Structures are given as C-alpha cells and as structure tokens.
C-alpha cells in the first residue's frame, strides 16, 4: 500500500500496467467520466435557491454556496494514482459525501469513550432537549447512523417533515410528502434534518467544532490540504458547556454549507477507509468501526453507517459486492473497492453515467 506524502506533494503515480490495468481500457473509463458532466448548472446557489430539492419556503438557503467546478476525478489502486482528469485540486461542495465523514467522526467518538454504546439512547449522553419527547427518547446512536431514527422536530429552522417521505429515485422532482411517523428503528428514510441532529449530538459529545476534530484526527494525520472547509448555517450557532458559541455543521449541502473539498483530499479519506482506518502504520479510526459501518442495515441492504453499500448488487450493478461509497447529490462519489484495492473519486459526473465508469474501470483490470 502506498500512502501519499502530505499535500502539496504530488500524488505518487504508477503506470496503469504496473497496477494491473489495461491502459487503453482505463483511458476509455476516464473518457467516459469526462464526457458525462452532471446536468446540474455551475451556479449552485441559483440551482438550490430555485427549489431543486423542495418548493418555497422549505428551500430557503441557510449556509454558503459556491459555484461548482467542472467534471474531475482520479483512480488509485493500492494507493498509487493510475488515472486522473480535470482539476483534482478544485475545491467545491460535496453534498452528502459529508455524511460518511460524520460516520468517521462517530467512530472516533466511540474510540474516545464519548459514546459508550451506540445501542443506548442518545439522551443518556446528550441532554439538550432534543431527545426528551416520547417519539425521540428511544432514539439510539445506531438509529441516527443508519437513517432509521424517525426523530421528530425542528432544527436550525428546518423541520424533519420537510424531508419526510423523501424518495431518492425522484430526487429534485418535488415528490416528497407527509407520512405518519413510525417507532425508532422500524423505518428507513434518507432525511437530512435527522443527519444534522446526529451532527449536533456529536458536537455535544466532543464539545469542540467538528471541523476541528476532523482536521486534527483525520485530514491532518493523512496529509490533507488546508484548502477544505466545513460550513454550518447562519442559524446553527449553539453554546457549548464552557460557554463558547460554535457552529454545528450539516451532513450535506441541502440548504447550503457542508464540506467543500477537492478530489485529492477525498481520495485520501477513501484510502483511509480502504485500509480500515489505518494510515502508514498508525490506526486513526478503529478497524472494527469500518467493519460495522459497512454492514448492511436490516431495513436497507444498500446502507450502512452513513455509507452506501452494494451488498445486494443494486446500488451499482457493475461494482463488487463489498464496495462502499461516500455519495453526494450533483454527481459526487468516492468509490472504495476492498476486493481490488481501488479508490476512485468522481466530481460533478452525471449519476446516470457512474455505473458505466465503474464497469469500464473494472473491465480494465487484467486477470
């Protein structure tokens, strides 16, 4: 395994053939990705502000939004860079890729003893009124990590009902709707308000801004750049136990904010995940956490602890069954493939073309 030197050193490259690829076929995969730009406009503020996720007033933007870059990406195997396209150091927002970063932070909280048991109710260690109602009192950390919490309430000006009834298959077509809540742990739903509630709960346990924890515990030790940022909402300022006012950060860019980062830093995080939380001999996140994180949720075989999975072969039919993904709206994907040692990052790629890219990359592997 090759671990790249800290940024801004160039990523160590290898000829495709040296890493087991047919160079011509790998070039076809790159051309496929480069030719299929996301249909989203470059003006993200205008796109989301016009109601791409839901109609007014629920679409009100609460955090900063930046214009996106062009399609870009990279393919590594066993840590060596074998292909790239576009500007892999262009920093733009990643949307729900940030959810997988929250999962990593939860693993660090567990390792530090801040979360003694993910199957215990969150209210036992987070006392901020968010888990006091009969609906929310049974919610555990596992429920929040698997999108099965059914947490109910309003957070930073957004009610959970905004995302209730969400169907990712018709995302952006305005087909969300109200539905009756179920008991915690009995219904799976992709709901950004509930993920943001997890983020706030983690902030309460760390008693430190999550971007600081991520920088010091993850991106710093793996040699990431200083060019990324994790922005909150103008409404998400909270007071910690010591009286400090800090911003809670969202697990995406649904209403602005979230993680802005480039492809090379994302690939570093993917390589850390591929290696079970270890980097150059140093265990940064427990290997057991990644093992748990990539086990299918009983209510959705395509989902683990805020990572998308391929256990049933339906997420990406061309990917290996043990592959897992950090995935964000608009065409952002980190593909981690343990069986082959591949980590690939796609930025602003048409989601409809992603499986074709994966198919071409896997077909380029010789033998």
Q: What is the reported pLDDT for 243?
A: 97
What CATH architecture does domain 16-364 belong to?
3-Layer(aba) Sandwich (3.40)
**Residue 359: C-alpha distances to residues 279, 301, 304, 329 (Å):** 28, 21, 23, 21
**Residue 93: C-alpha distances to residues 31, 69, 97, 98 (Å):** 23, 9, 9, 9
Model pLDDT for residues 65-122, shown as the tens digit of each residue: 999 999 999 999 999 999 999 999 999 999 999 999 999 999 999 999 999 999 999 9
Mean pLDDT across the stretch 328-345?
97
| Helix (H/G/I), strand (E/B), else coil: 134 | coil
Question: Tokens 């990712």 label which residue?
Answer: 168
**CA triple 333-178-56, angle to 5 deg:** 70
CA distance 337 to 335: 6
Model pLDDT for residues 246-262, shown as the tens digit of each residue: 999 999 999 999 999 99
**ω before 273 within 30° of 0 (cis)?**
no
Mean pLDDT across the stretch 302-320?
97
301 pLDDT higher than 80: yes
**Overall pTM surpassing 0.75 (yes/no):** yes
Domain layout of the chain by residue ranges: 16-364
CA distance 77 to 21: 10
Q: What is the reported pLDDT for 367?
A: 64
Residues, the chain: 367
């Amino acid at each position: 395994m090759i671990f790249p030197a800290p940024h801004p050193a160039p990523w160590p490259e290898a000829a495709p053939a040296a890493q087991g690829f047919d160079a011509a076929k790998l070039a076809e995969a790159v051309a496929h990705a480069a030719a299929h730009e996301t249909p989203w406009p470059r003006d993200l503020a205008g796109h989301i502000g016009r109601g791409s996720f839901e109609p007014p007033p629920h679409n009100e933007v609460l955090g900063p939004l930046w214009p996106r870059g062009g399609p870009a990406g990279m393919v590594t195997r066993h840590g060596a860079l074998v292909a790239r396209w576009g500007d892999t150091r262009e920093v733009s927002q990643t949307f729900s890729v940030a959810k997988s970063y929250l999962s990593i932070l939860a693993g660090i909280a567990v390792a530090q003893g801040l979360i003694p048991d993910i199957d215990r109710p969150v209210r036992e260690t987070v006392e901020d009124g968010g888990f006091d109602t009969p609906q929310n009192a049974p919610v555990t950390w596992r429920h929040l990590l698997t999108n099965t919490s059914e947490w109910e309430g309003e957070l930073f000006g957004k009610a959970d009902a905004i995302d209730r009834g969400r169907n990712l298959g018709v995302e952006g077509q305005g087909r969300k709707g109200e539905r009756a809540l179920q008991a915690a742990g009995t219904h799976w739903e992709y709901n950004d308000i509930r993920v943001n509630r997890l983020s706030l709960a983690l902030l309460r346990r760390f008693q430190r801004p999550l971007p600081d924890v991520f920088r010091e515990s993850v991106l710093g030790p793996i040699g990431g750049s200083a060019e990324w940022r994790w922005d909150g909402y103008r409404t998400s300022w909270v007071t910690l136990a010591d009286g400090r006012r800090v911003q809670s950060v969202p697990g995406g860019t649904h209403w602005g904010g979230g993680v802005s980062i480039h492809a090379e830093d994302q690939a570093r995080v993917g390589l850390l995940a591929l290696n079970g939380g270890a980097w150059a001999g140093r265990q940064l996140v427990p290997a057991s956490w990644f093992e748990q994180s990539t086990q299918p949720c009983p209510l959705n075989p395509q989902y683990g602890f805020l990572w998308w999975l391929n256990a049933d072969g339906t997420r990406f039919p061309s990917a290996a069954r043990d592959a897992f993904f950090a995935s964000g709206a608009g065409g952002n994907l980190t593909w981690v493939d343990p069986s082959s040692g591949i980590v690939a990052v796609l930025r602003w790629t048409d989601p409809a073309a992603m499986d074709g890219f994966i198919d071409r990359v896997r077909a380029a592997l010789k033998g």
